[in-house]
Structure 1
Amino acid sequence: MNRRHFLKLLSVALAGSTLPLNLNAFERQHQVGIARLRYQGGNDNPRPGALRRLLQEVGRHTSVEVNPVVSEIWGRREELFLHPMIAMAGDRGYDPLPDEVIENLRLYLSSGGFLYIDSAEGLTDGPFMESVRRDLARVFPDRPIATVPRDHTVHKSFYLIDRPVGRLDIAANLEGIFDEERASVLINPNDLLGALARDAFGGWEHQVSPGGDRQRDMAQRLAVNIVLYALTIDYKADQVHIPFILRRRRWRVD
């Protein structure tokens, strides 16, 4: 049983009487989707369309089948457990998450779920990041936010990434919350989604600084890595086989 199927079966056990509401989602269990966590008092969608673009990158560069429809959820338990990856974004402070959502996130993340947090405010310690740290301390009072080392699996789950950039390059490392070696939460202050966002005509919505097109390309690769990590966690910690796979598929990584 792979991790996605485990989470969905667990959702049935936890949802109980809500089982009939979840059947439609089970019909697409071979596809990978991302849910966006909504909240009150801030801007929970600063880069509209960017998560869909992220899924397109995954589908284009890997063999993963993606569901391009990004679900919007408020942190109810039955919603969380239908998705192996939840994304949360913002560009300003927001109201504290309700206690029920905090409890649901704790259960979801402790059971194998994954939360990716992307800041679009252009600061490593701005109001959005302060709100994030406040709520993560409520989710896991005994697990501090830590720096993600450069040799962590997320930097090599598909592409080899030297530096986790986004629209900006203001933070040299990702941050996260760990359950032993597994990162259940990853935090990126570099506005990764800003590097992926396109307008209605297909053009890039935001300039990338300071590295231009090369930095945008590396941000796209990091986005793919994060989704692959959310699906597989640490089974690719030993990356010896990756160059062979990439050569066989004729994918370049430089």
Structure 2
Amino acid sequence: GDRRIARNVIGPETELTPAGWPADITVHGLSVAPEQPIAGWLLGLAILLLAADAAASLALSGRLLKTSSTTVASALLVLSLTLAPENLGAQTEAETEALSAAAEVSLAHVLTGNREVDDVAAAGLRGLSDTLFFRTSVEPALPSGVDLETDELAFYPILYWPITPDQPRPSDAAYVKLNDYLRSGGLILFDTRDADIARFGTASANGRKLQELAAPLDIPPLEPVPTDHVLTRTFYLLQDFPGRHASRDIWVEAAPPDAEKVEGMPFRNLNDGVTPVVIGGNDWASAWAVSENGAPLLPIGRGFSGDRQRELALRFGVNLIMHVLTGNYKSDQVHVPALLDRLGQ
């Protein structure tokens, strides 16, 4: 009773023949019956019950007969569209990705059409997401590549936009979405990736392309990032913002003309909110990029100095994401004693 033995009862002499079942016997194989999606039907039932509740409320208040026929027709149209067969199936891939992006913090990069640049951007955001996961309370989902023409932007707190000379100019409809994104609190990091050969402006093909791409956007006046900008202290205390290149020409929204340093405060009261754009050319994605196993993907500098530069690039990325998510939180006076202590003042 405490032992089981498996015995093969079929030998070489055994002849296997197909089983013959009577005609009135239904034979079922090992396949699993497909699931029947009922989400659409349940949603339709909920809308129907909601309409019945509204009708009962109108009837009890004596206003049922005053309801216009247009309202009734609109309700019936919504109900019919909800119950349409094509709406009862499973979610599309785009809907699934949108729901995933809405459920968690997810970083995104703009697809340029250049496979190599897009792959580096994806690897860079993957490396930055890993850094955020291990060093902060932010636990991002996998990054996404977005098509400005078709994808919804509202799910992403930041868009990393690498500039290439030959990428297509977005349509007018895409620019409407981009301007809505900027006005609603999103941030775009424009990266011309050419700080090793040119400074911000029209000195390179990427710089000229950036001006062309950014012209239709509602971008506020810009200035080089000041030393007391909240971006320098949202998580790490930083003075430089290197990527694969180490230029300090980083541009952000300009401070108000009346911003002054308050006595006893180490910083001016700047940026009551989040700068909608950050512009530079340090090729940050290349410095953040990691392979599938988490190893750095591209070389940065040489030896210890290169490792230090990569570390500062990751710290800038962390500061940038925390700036997007917390705004001017680190400008509050509650942080002044700790900041003064760290700065040795």
Shorter-chain TM-score range = 0.7 to 0.9
Q: 1:108 aligns with which of 164, 172, 181?
A: 181
Per the alignment, in what secondary structure is the counterpart of residue 33 of structure 1? Answer: coil
- After superposition, the Cα gap between the structure-2 partners of 1:83 and 1:77, relative to the gap in structure 1 and judged at 3 Å, is farther
Per the alignment, in what secondary structure is the counterpart of residue 47 of structure 1? Answer: helix
| Per-residue Cα deviation, 1:74-94 (whole angstroms, up to 9, x for no partner) | 124761011111111135443
Counterpart for residue 131 of structure 1: 209
Q: 1:169 aligns with which of 246, 270, 294?
A: 246
CA-CA distance at 1:137 after TM superposition: 2.1
| Per-residue Cα deviation, 1:141-195 (whole angstroms, up to 9, x for no partner) | x73443221211111110011111111112x231134696331011121112221
CA-CA distance at 1:132 after TM superposition: 1.6
| Per-residue Cα deviation, 1:193-242 (whole angstroms, up to 9, x for no partner) | 22122346624412237942212111110111111111122122237539
- After superposition, the Cα gap between the structure-2 partners of 1:24 and 1:53, relative to the gap in structure 1 and judged at 3 Å, is closer
Q: Which stretches in structure 1 are left out of the alignment for 5+ residues?
A: 1-16, 246-251
8 Å CA contact retained: 1:102, 1:138: yes
**Does 1:189 pair with 2:281?**
yes
Per the alignment, in what secondary structure is the counterpart of residue 72 of structure 1? Answer: strand
More divergent stretch after superposition (39-48 vs 53-62): 39-48
Amino-acid identity (%)? 26
CA separation in 2, counterparts of 1:175 and 1:42?
27
CA-CA distance at 1:112 after TM superposition: 1.0
Q: How does 1:21-170 map to 2 (within 5 A)?
A: 22=95, 25-26=98-99, 29=102, 31-40=104-113, 44-45=117-118, 47-48=120-121, 49-67=123-141, 69-76=142-149, 79-121=152-194, 122=196, 123-124=198-199, 125-140=203-218, 143-170=220-247
Structure ranking higher on relative contact order (CA contacts 8 Å, 6+ apart):
1
8 Å CA contact retained: 1:176, 1:187: yes
| Residue type of the alignment partner of 1:129 | G
Q: 1:229 aligns with which of 292, 299, 323?
A: 323
| Residue type of the alignment partner of 1:224 | V
Counterpart for residue 78 of structure 2: none
Which has the larger strand fraction?
Answer: 1
- After superposition, the Cα gap between the structure-2 partners of 1:39 and 1:199, relative to the gap in structure 1 and judged at 3 Å, is closer
CA separation in 2, counterparts of 1:118 and 1:163?
16
CA separation in 2, counterparts of 1:89 and 1:79?
19
CA-CA distance at 1:39 after TM superposition: 3.5
8 Å CA contact retained: 2:289, 2:297: yes
- After superposition, the Cα gap between the structure-2 partners of 1:34 and 1:233, relative to the gap in structure 1 and judged at 3 Å, is same
| Residue type of the alignment partner of 2:130 | Q
| Per-residue Cα deviation, 1:64-123 (whole angstroms, up to 9, x for no partner) | 1210x2212112476101111111113544332222111211111011111112232333
